[in-house]
Amino acid sequence: MLKKLREILTNTQFQKLIVYGFGQLFNLVTPLLVVPYIVGICGEENFGKIAVGMALSFFLIVFVDYGSDLVGVREVSVNRHDKEALQNILLVSYTSRFLILLVVLLLAITMFFTIPYFKAERTLFLMSMMVLAGQFLNPTWFLQGLENVKWITVSNIISKLIYLLGVFVMVKSASDYVYVNFLWGLGMILANGFFLFLIFKVYRFSFRTVAFKDVVHFLKKDFSMFSSQIFVALQLNTPVMLISFFGNNLMAGQYKIIEQIIVIFKTYIFLFFNYVFPKVCYLLETNPEKGIRNWKIYNGFNFVFVLFGMVFLYFFSYDVVSYFNPTNRYFLSNLLRVAVFIPIVLAITIPLKQLVLGWNFNRFYVRLTSVVVVLNLLVIVLVLPYYKVYGVFYSLIGTEAIVILFYLLCIRGKFSEIRLRKQNG
């Protein structure tokens, strides 16, 4: 028993997981520290405005990332021992995404000055664009492919510390809500810029001009995966925007408070996906049986952890929402008891997504994602007048249940192949 425990503790993959988990702890702790302070100073309505600005930024991030968090990670992982290939992947990606960033910023700024809904909070939305600049510099996708979790961890900690310090120093009155998203972006720019510079220095990459044909090839090659991520971003970020547009900012703030509680676990699930995904891709390519075995172990423990966390939130919902200083505590407590089912279904959906993408069912993933997300948004708009914020959470839970069913139908053939191969020895 002691020998087995020693083997686990000295395992390189386990040690990387501990380091990665320690860094991501800041993603879980940050909302617990900063959200009650922001709500207390700025109020629920202004917190709703902050949420809309951040949601818009996170949606636009998909254009700037252009699928690097999926396709880019896989390419870096497969070519991890080829320095020339890694340098080319990095340079072509950043050159292409820089052009996309310029176009997105131009269109966004034009929108902020012309559309009345955005003009009303133009300063907030303009400052929120700092998040896009910070995400453009983000080299996490490259480091994930190399499984360099130490740099990812340190970068994340630095970014969050800058954000926390900035909020506690600069947000002193209700009108200071406009600075919150700016500070988030500032932390990203400083931390991500430093580690991108470090990648060039340590890996001895050189700056060179990227051929136009390489940029065109990059944009064409990754377009399908990028387009699928647009729909994922719509699903994740537009609910609060729809609530604000078809309802009001107070409702948006109430939704965001609940979402901010469960997002601790949602963030953990997505970050766990980012950590495990490169290893899953590599093993599914080289040793499918071992890949499935590791996939079951990692995601099995992960599901149990999320399940226990949601049970805790369900039974202590009133105490949890009271910490975040809202006014309608009984209403939000009941709302939280519905929302806890979202991380539970996500803890099933995301591991299945690893297999769907790891086995290169990209076309299926794109089609399913686009159809389900459009359906989900339509349902939200239809049920919002009748069920208010409850309807949004009902729709999100139902969507994830549909996705689980179709993912299982997609990959069942691969499981059968591995089972037959194992039986035939």
pLDDT digits (tens, 9 = 90+) for 389-398: 899 999 999 9
- For residue range 125-147, what is the model confidence (pLDDT) as tens digits? 999 999 999 999 999 888 888 87
pLDDT at 322 over 70: yes
Angle, helix 362-423 to helix 249-286, in steps of 10 degrees: 40
Averaged pLDDT of the chain: 85
Residues 235-239: what's their mean pLDDT?
82
pLDDT-based confidence at residue 57 (cuts at 50, 70, 90): very high
- The pLDDT assigned to 268 comes to 77
First-to-last C-alpha distance (Å) of the chain: 30
- What pTM was computed for the model? 0.76
- For residues 380 and 18, which has the higher predicted lDDT (pLDDT)? 380
- The pLDDT assigned to 160 comes to 92
pLDDT at 59 over 60: yes
- The pLDDT assigned to 314 comes to 95
Residues 241-254: what's their mean pLDDT?
85
pLDDT-based confidence at residue 21 (cuts at 50, 70, 90): low
Q: Which of 8-22, 99-113, 375-389 has the lowest mean pLDDT?
A: 8-22
pLDDT at 15 over 80: no
pLDDT at 11 over 70: no
Residues 273-302: what's their mean pLDDT?
78
